[in-house]
Amino acid sequence: MYQVRTDLALEAREKFEGSNVEVKGVKVSQDEVHGNMKVTKVMIETENGAKIMGKPRGNYITLEAPDMADNDENYHREISKEIAKLLRELMPIDKKELSVLVVGLGNREVTPDALGPRVVDNMMITRHIIRKFGKYAFGLSRNHQISSIVPGVMAQTGMETLEIIKGVLDETTPDYIIAIDALAARSTKRLSRTIQITDTGISPGSGVGNHRHALNKESMGVPVIAIGIPTVVDAVTIVSDTMSNLVHAMEESRKLEDLGKSISSLEEAEKNELIRELLSPNLNTMFVTPKDIDESVKRLSYTISEGINMAFFPA
């Protein structure tokens, strides 16, 4: 059976809402923040919930900001502040000095996948300065040691991301890892408008069916916080959404009402299978990204890096 690919726990939960199914072991809460921004927290508490959701147990925080694609500096600064606040909820930043390794996942040469490397470019890196000049180098009450790495992708290095990061861990022994990666979404409305933060780690490439070894506490030996923004959507989902709109229009038309009702009676999985059969082999593995993705990734990478910087080094 065809499974719609998405990295967002929020979208995995939404597929049960239409059928009014309560997922046991999964709690969901929502809060409105700063105008039209919304924070949704999905907490998968049991193995049963994890199995149904297709996600590991843990906390998944989704920040939805409809205007995030716009070039509004004040709006993006509010997003960065919210990212900093959410990171403090997941990490003991205000309680003790931490050593943190920031990992920029993805391929710098492929724009939709360059989010992680570009975030690292804008990070405030302090580990080498503190190690050389001492913990009073910045005159702060807490001097967190921040280091970073951009491991690239297997096609560039011939090595698994996991192998590279483990080698760095042996030398730097951080308390936490923050991994940033581009994600895949189910809905086009969430492209470049949604940020997911989770304490369950990440599986690089899973959203586009290119599974690599997971980066999580079990594989790394330290907690892994993952931050991601969806930059691509499966072409099949676009056709599916278009088909749903077409069916709705047909149901509104007297001449095509019967045909529209017969199609709408299909289950969602059946519709996806039908679409997959209709698409040629050259299209059914295609992923689509917005035409302004270059500017979006540049802008959003700065927003995320500022959020992380604010979390560890508040003004």
Q: What percent of the chain has pLDDT over 90?
A: 50
For residue 104, the model assigns a pLDDT of 97
- Greater confidence (288 vs 34) lies with 288
Mean pLDDT rounded to a whole number for the chain: 84
What SS3 class is residue 258? helix
Question: Lowest-pLDDT range, 60-64, 74-78, 139-143?
Answer: 139-143
Across 59-64, average pLDDT? 95
The model's pTM: 0.84
Residue range 294-310: mean pLDDT, rounded? 95
How high is the pLDDT of residue 53? Answer: 84
In this predicted structure, the answer to whether residue 207 has a pLDDT above a threshold of 50 is no
CB 178 within 8 A of CB 101: yes
- Tell me the sheet residues that pair with 40: 30, 62
- Cα–Cα dist 140/121, whole Å: 23
pLDDT for residue 257: 59
Helix (H) or strand (E) holding 167: helix 161-172
What does the pLDDT read at residue 59?
Answer: 94
Residue 262 has pLDDT above 80, yes or no: no
pLDDT score recorded for residue 136: 77
Q: Where are the domains of the chain?
A: 9-232+291-312, 237-278
Asked if pLDDT for residue 135 goes beyond 90, the answer is no
pLDDT-based confidence at 19, cuts 50/70/90?
very low
The pLDDT of residue 134 = 84
**Cβ(55)–Cβ(274) under 8 Å?**
no
CA-CA distance, 271 to 314, in Å (whole number)?
Answer: 49
Here the tokens at position 165 are 């990061």
CA atoms of 69 and 296, how far apart (whole Å):
6
Give 11 or 55, the one with higher predicted confidence.
55
Neighbours of 202 (CB within 10 A): 28
Q: What does the pLDDT read at residue 49?
A: 85
CB environment 92-124: b (16+ within 10 A), e (fewer): ebeeebbbbbbbbbbbbeebbbbbbbbbbbebb
Tell me which CATH homologous superfamily contains domain 9-232+291-312: HybD-like (3.40.50.1450)
More confident call, 186 vs 159: 159
pLDDT of residue 205: 53
d(CA 105, CA 114): 8
Which region holds residue 147: left if phi is over 0, alpha if psi is between -120 and 50, else beta?
beta
* 96-124 average pLDDT score: 95
- What is the Cα gyration radius of the chain? 21
Mean pLDDT over 266-273 rounds to 63
In degrees and rounded to multiples of 5, residue 175 shows phi and psi of -80, -30
Q: How confident is the model at residue 283 (pLDDT cuts 50, 70, 90)?
A: low
The proportion of the chain whose per-residue pLDDT surpasses 70, expressed as a percent, equals 78
Is pLDDT larger for residue 206 or for residue 83?
Answer: 83
Q: How confident is the model at residue 64 (pLDDT cuts 50, 70, 90)?
A: very high
Stretch 228-235: mean pLDDT: 89
pLDDT of residue 216: 93
Tokens of 74: 């004040």
- Torsion angle, alpha carbons of 311, 50, 206, 149, to 10: 30
Q: In the numeric block, which tokens belong to residue 162?
A: 């996991």
Nearest to 5 by CA among 273, 209, 253: 209
CA distance 204 to 180: 10
Confidence category of residue 272, pLDDT binned at 50, 70, 90: low
